[in-house]
Chain A
Amino acid sequence: MSPVLLEPVVPLSARRRSVPRWLRRTTGPLFLLLLWQVCSATGVLPSDMLASPGTIAGTASGMIQDGTLPHAMLVSVQRVLNGLVIGGIIGVALALASGLSRLGEDLVDASVQMFRTIPWVGMIPLFIIWMGIGEAPKIALIALGVTFHLYLNVYAGIRGVDAQLIEAGNSLGLGRWGLIRHVVLPGALPGAMTGLRYSLATAWLALVFGETINADDGIGFLLNRAREFFQTDVIVVCLIVYAALGLLADFIVRTLERLLLQWRPTFTGK
């Protein structure tokens, strides 16, 4: 008999995981940062167009030390949280009303779908006329953006609950409230978490829009003032802060998902 060529089946654990996952994920961004610094240092990227990472880091530490950045962040985060809570309550309440009952759906859904087609940024002029130029229109804008995302996803989540499980709940003697609490709401949770992530992204977007229009504090205010003085370093610091806050929010939701959705038998990637 002629010999057969054999090759070992390498276990996944031996081949992978030599570098920790978090470290692997940071290499891409670090490389881009390095490229940027090199371009600035060699003059390929002039500083009046975009400041170098080193300059930006210096500016950032200065802004942190004199307290302007922490104060602006606090103001902006507060606006987002307020808008998120208000929009969240309205969106989830509407979704529950139309998701749980046929009557609620008939009354609520058509109106929400109608308002949803209006680009919410277009509401800014009306909000200024109605609420002046204080905190109210900024928070309202954020709440508006958040409301629709949560509404759509929570509603879809509720309507996506497996009818077989509802029937099982019925046969086990659950009443209407018991069904909602033990079957419908937990089943709608994955949808709700998706909605939360979308609404957080929208909330930061709405914050940028809201703050670039007649704000006298917050990150958007710093951003606008920097534009008047051509301070590209300050502008980039503000953008990084926006991004970092968005990333932090996403991290919080991811953690929530990991804790609340650990029962989910879904594909998690290889």
Chain B
Amino acid sequence: MATDLHRQVNPLTKETTDDAAVRVDSLTRSFDGRAVIDNLELTIPQGEFVALLGRSGCGKSTLLRVLAGLDREINGEVLVPRRKAVAFQAPRLMPWKKVWRNVLLGLPGSPGREVAEKALEEVGLGHRSDAWPKTLSGGEAQRASLARALVREPDLLLLDEPFGALDALTRITAQRLVSDLWQSRGCAVLLVTHDVEEALLLADRVLVMDGGVIAHEVRVDRDRPRDIADPYIADLRTQLLDRLGVEAPEAAEVEKVA
């Protein structure tokens, strides 16, 4: 696999080769003395699709930012591939650049427009390559952002609630797109989300973050495409919701009666 070089996110600049895409060892990140990430361990093998769940403010987005190299005020050891890409919740396209220029932004050398068009074609946005970002719909902008991430041919793709702002129908299409792209690319994916069903439909492994560490882990052994009505998935869903502190409907009913 292509993950040959690792770059540490901490001040030491030791590079090693590894068969994992992410290795995190005793990572701590504090805000004003409060540890949001507290001695966290995490390994993501190459090519694995991992979903990270957690309540609001549990530090899951902070972890993603650390892995992206955007947050470096950390203690501990973090190894990530040199080639990694992020898609944020907001598409964060530069409004002053046409879509195809946004896709190429920051790429080394000066790749031609056809490189961008190919990536846009892959997310079904080839026809909007010459558009201004302001003319894109929410779903289109998010796909452009995804094309911008994929054109970097990442070994690790970090997705920070990328479907959060999309309407229900667009979200389903976008989820399928991510699933297909992951299967054709074979890169490791870390998807931060608060949607349990989304995590179960897409991921090989679902992690729950709580108290600054990975508190719970579920492996999803089902072929894709998955069905949310599948009893196996429904069972995992109840289990995860329970972990997240949301009581299952029956339990809530009982409580109301009592």
Binding site for B on A (CB under 8 A): 164-165, 167-174, 178, 182-183, 186-187, 189, 262-265
- Choose from B70, B97, B108, B148 the contact partner of A167 (Cβ within 8 Å): B70
B residues near A170, Cβ cutoff 8 Å: 69-70
Q: Which of A170, A173, A186, A262 gathers most chain B CB within 10 Å?
A: A173
- Choose from A171, A183, A186, A262 the contact partner of B86 (Cβ within 8 Å): A171
Given contacts A165-B94, A171-B85, 9 further A-B contacts (CB under 8 A): A173-B106, A173-B107, A173-B152, A182-B97, A186-B94, A187-B96, A262-B132, A263-B95, A263-B97
- Chain B interface residue count: which class? 20 to 34
B-side binding surface: helix, strand, loop or mixed?
loop
A residues near B94, Cβ cutoff 8 Å: 165, 168-169, 182-183, 186
Chain B 77-103 against A: per-residue CB contact (8 Å), 1 yes, 0 no?
000000001101010101111000000
A residues near B132, Cβ cutoff 8 Å: 262-263
Q: Total A-B pairs in contact (CB under 8 Å)?
A: 55
B214 → chain A, closest Cβ, in Å? 23
| Cα–Cα distance between A251 and B88 once the two chains are bound (Å) | 40
Would A264 and B134 be within 8 Å (CB), given that A164-B92, A171-B85, A172-B148 are in contact?
yes
B residues near A264, Cβ cutoff 8 Å: 95, 134
- Are the C-beta atoms of B106 and A174 separated by less than 8 Å? yes
- Are the C-beta atoms of B88 and A182 separated by less than 8 Å? no
A residues near B134, Cβ cutoff 8 Å: 263-265
- Choose from A168, A174, A189 the contact partner of B96 (Cβ within 8 Å): A189
A264 → chain B, closest Cβ, in Å? 7
Q: Which of B68, B70, B97, B105 gathers most chain A CB within 10 Å?
A: B105
A residues near B105, Cβ cutoff 8 Å: 169, 172, 174, 182
| Cα–Cα distance between A186 and B106 once the two chains are bound (Å) | 15
B29 → chain A, closest Cβ, in Å? 16
Counting CB contacts under 8 A, is B59 at the interface? Answer: no
B residues near A171, Cβ cutoff 8 Å: 68-70, 85-86
- Choose from A164, A169, A262, A263 the contact partner of B90 (Cβ within 8 Å): A164
15 pairs, CB–CB < 8 Å, chain A vs chain B:
A165-B92, A165-B94, A169-B105, A172-B152, A173-B108, A174-B105, A178-B106, A182-B106, A263-B95, A263-B96, A263-B97, A264-B95, A265-B95, A265-B133, A265-B134
